[in-house]
Amino acid sequence: MSTSTIPQHEVVIVGGGQAGLSLSHYLQAQGLDHVVFEKHRALHSWSTQRWDNFCLVTPNWQCALPGHPYAGDDPHGFMKKEQIVQYLAAFRKSVDAPLREGVAVQQIRPAPGGFVVRSSAGECFAGQVVVASGGYHTPIVPRLAERLPPSIRQIHSADYRNADQLPPGKVLVVGSGQSGAQIAEDLHLAGRQVVLAVGDAPRCARFYRGRDVVDWLADMGYYDMPVTQHPLREGVRDNTNHYVTGRDGGRDIDLRRFALEGMDLFGVLEGLQADGDTLRFAPRLAEVLDRADATYNGINASIDKYIAERGIDAPAGAPYVPVWQPAAERATLSLAASGITSVVWCIGFAPDFGWLDAPVFNGRGHPVHTRGVTAVPGLYFLGLPWLHTWGSGRFSGVARDAEYLAERIAQRHASLGAGEPLRARPAHVQLQAALA
C-alpha cells in the first residue's frame, strides 16, 4: 500500500461509548486531531444491552459527563432506560465527536512513532491510541450450559429484556450481582417463580440516616479515593458490584424478603450432575447472605461514624436484622422436577482485547496501567472499573479520567513535535518506509 493513501490521525479512540465521547470532548478542547471508531452505534450499549425496566442504580446527580451534567428536576432520582438514552443523545450532540460508526477495530500494533490501526474500514496510522471499548465484552456462560436439556431456554443478562421473553415455568437466575439481583427482582415483580443461585456479591442500603447512601459516601470522599489508596489496591477492580436498585425511586434489594415472598434461594451454582438434570449448589446460602448483610451493615456503620464525628443532625439508624433464614442448606435441584424452563446467566462478562497487539496485559488478560497510562508510550485505557476511582467505569468519574488522559496525550503530542504534520516526524517517516 502506498504510504500517501494511509489516513493519519494524531489520536485514535476505540469505542464510542460515554468514555470515548468524553475523551473527544477534552481532545477538542486541546485542539488535537482525533477520530472515534465505534463498531456499532455510539452509546448503543444503553439501548441494546439493558432490560426494559432498567433504571440507573446511581442517582441522577452522578451523571456528570463532561460539559453535560444532569440538568433535570430529579437529581436524587434514577433515570429509566429511555431517559438515559435521551440524556446520552443530548451528550452526543453536545460533544459532536469525529465519529466513525460501524467501524470495528480489528488490530492495533505499535509501530515506529505510533500505531498501525487496522479496522473494517481499512488501515490508518495513529500517533496515540486510547482504548475506550468498555469493560463488558464477552458474556460469561459456564460450560455446563452446553449440557442442559435443549428444552431449557438460556439467555445471558445482556440479552434479557423482560419476563415475557421466557417460556412459562420457573426461571433460574444464576448470580446475584447488580444485574442478577435486579433481573431476579424484575421477574419476581412480574409474577414469575424465580429460583435464584445467590453468588458472593455484597449489598448496600439505598437510604440510611435520612439520605441516599451514595450521598453520604460522596460527602465522605469515597468517590474521590484513588485506587492506590483503596485497602484492596488494584484488587478492588475484581470486586462484584453491590446490589441495590434505583427502581421506583430507589430501594434496597433484600433477597431474604424475596424468599419470604416465594423466591427460591440456593447457594452458588457449582455444577450439573452426569444425568444432565440435577444442578449442584454450594451448601452455603446462609453464609453468602450473611456476608452480603455484613457489608451492608459495615457501610452503614461507617456512615454512623462519620455522622458521630461531625455531630451531624441526622435521623437514627439501626443495623439490618435478617427477616429470613434458610431452614436448611440444599445442595441439589432437579430441573425437571422443579419445573425450571429457562435460565438467565448473570455471572458477568470477560474482557476481550484480542485485537490489541501490545504487551500491556497481565496473565488474566487485564490491562496493566496507571490511571489509564500503559507502559507502551502513547497507548491508554479509559472507562474501566476503578481505572482511577470508583466512578471511572461509570457516569460519575469518567470525565475526570478523560480530562487527565487528554492532558497526557497533549503533553506527548507537544513533546513529539506539535505543529508538524505527523508524516514529518522522523519516527513516522520510518513507519512509512516500513509500510511502503
Ligand X SMILES: Cc1cc2nc3c(=O)[nH]c(=O)nc-3n(C[C@H](O)[C@H](O)[C@H](O)COP(=O)(O)OP(=O)(O)OC[C@H]3O[C@@H](n4cnc5c(N)ncnc54)[C@H](O)[C@@H]3O)c2cc1C
Q: Cβ 45 to ligand X, closest distance in Å?
A: 4
Interatomic CA distance for residues 196 and 175, integer angstroms = 7
Interatomic CA distance for residues 6 and 181, integer angstroms = 48
Query: Which residues, in sequence order, are CB contacts of 320 under 8 Å at separation 6+?
Result: 205, 293, 296, 297, 300
Q: Which of 160, 216, 266, 395 binds ligand X (CB under 6 A)?
A: 395
Q: Cβ 179 to ligand X, closest distance in Å?
A: 5
Nearest to 398 by CA among 419, 376, 383: 383
Q: Cβ 384 to ligand X, closest distance in Å?
A: 7
Size of interface with ligand X, in residues (CB under 6 A): 30
Q: Does 367 bind ligand X (CB under 6 A)?
A: no
Smaller CB separation from ligand X, 58 or 193: 58
**Residues in 30-49 that interact with ligand X by CB under 6 A:** 37-40, 44-45
User: What one-character DSSP code corresponds to residue 227?
Assistant: G
Q: Does 57 bind ligand X (CB under 6 A)?
A: yes
Interatomic CA distance for residues 78 and 59, integer angstroms = 5
Smaller CB separation from ligand X, 365 or 426: 365
Q: Does 105 bind ligand X (CB under 6 A)?
A: yes
Distance of CA 171 to the CA centre of its chain: 25
Q: Which of 6, 12, 16, 148 binds ligand X (CB under 6 A)?
A: 16
**Residues in 132-161 that interact with ligand X by CB under 6 A:** 132-134, 136
Q: Cβ 134 to ligand X, closest distance in Å?
A: 2
Smaller CB separation from ligand X, 217 or 307: 217
Q: Cβ 254 to ligand X, closest distance in Å?
A: 19
Torsion of CA 93, 99, 101, 105, to 10 degrees: -140
**Residues in 287-306 that interact with ligand X by CB under 6 A:** none
What DSSP string runs through 145-177?
GGGS-TTSEEEEGGG---GGGSPSSEEEEE--S
Listed ranges 3-11, 191-199, 218-226, 393-401: which one lies at the site for ligand X (CB under 6 A): 393-401
Listed ranges 53-61, 167-175, 196-204, 221-229: which one lies at the site for ligand X (CB under 6 A): 53-61
Listed ranges 54-62, 69-77, 206-214, 415-423: which one lies at the site for ligand X (CB under 6 A): 54-62
Smaller CB separation from ligand X, 58 or 295: 58
**Residues in 168-197 that interact with ligand X by CB under 6 A:** 179
Q: To which residue does cell 451493615 refer?
A: 297
* Helical (H) or strand (E) element with 114: strand 114-119
Interatomic CA distance for residues 10 and 411, integer angstroms = 12
User: What one-character DSSP code corresponds to residue 236?
Assistant: G
Cα distances (angstroms) measured from residue 276 to each of 171, 332, 353, 418? 17, 12, 34, 63
Residues binding ligand X (CB under 6 A): 14-20, 37-40, 44-45, 50, 56-58, 104-105, 132-134, 136, 179, 355, 383, 393-396
